[in-house]
Amino acid sequence: GIQVEQSPPDLILQEGANSTLRCNFSDSVNNLQWFHQNPWGQLINLFYIPSGTKQNGRLSATTVATERYSLLYISSSQTTDSGVYFCAVVFDAGGTSYGKLTFGQGTILTVHP
């Protein structure tokens, strides 16, 4: 079936460390977003990245659509980076799936001072 798998499920870092989160998806997509859910539960947009590479400060993301994966890089991590990181995709179903974001189960990141 249609799946979005994220790894690792949990990640513990010391402040200043770098990390890579991965998102694998089972079929062609025409939308892929990365979100950060902070400890207060708010879902914050990080990237809209169905293909290619983007950077925003200490964060960057790369999606290789042909190989069906996306990576989120966090450099020089800070305690405020803690939370859950979600990958969400809209599978390409010939125009009938617009907006139907399917979420992965998330990666729980804890950054210690």
Cβ 11 vs Cβ 108: under 8 Å? yes
Which residue, 42 or 110, is less far from another protein as judged by CB? 42
Residue 43 found at the interface with another protein (CB under 8 A): yes
Query: Smallest distance, Å, CB 96 to another protein?
Result: 9
**Strands across the sheet containing 59-64:** 4-7, 19-25, 69-74, 59-64, 52-56
Pick the binder of another protein from 23, 61, 74, 88 (CB under 8 A).
88
Q: Where on the chain is the footprint of another protein (CB under 8 A)?
A: 30-31, 33, 35, 41-43, 45, 48, 50, 86, 88, 90, 98-106
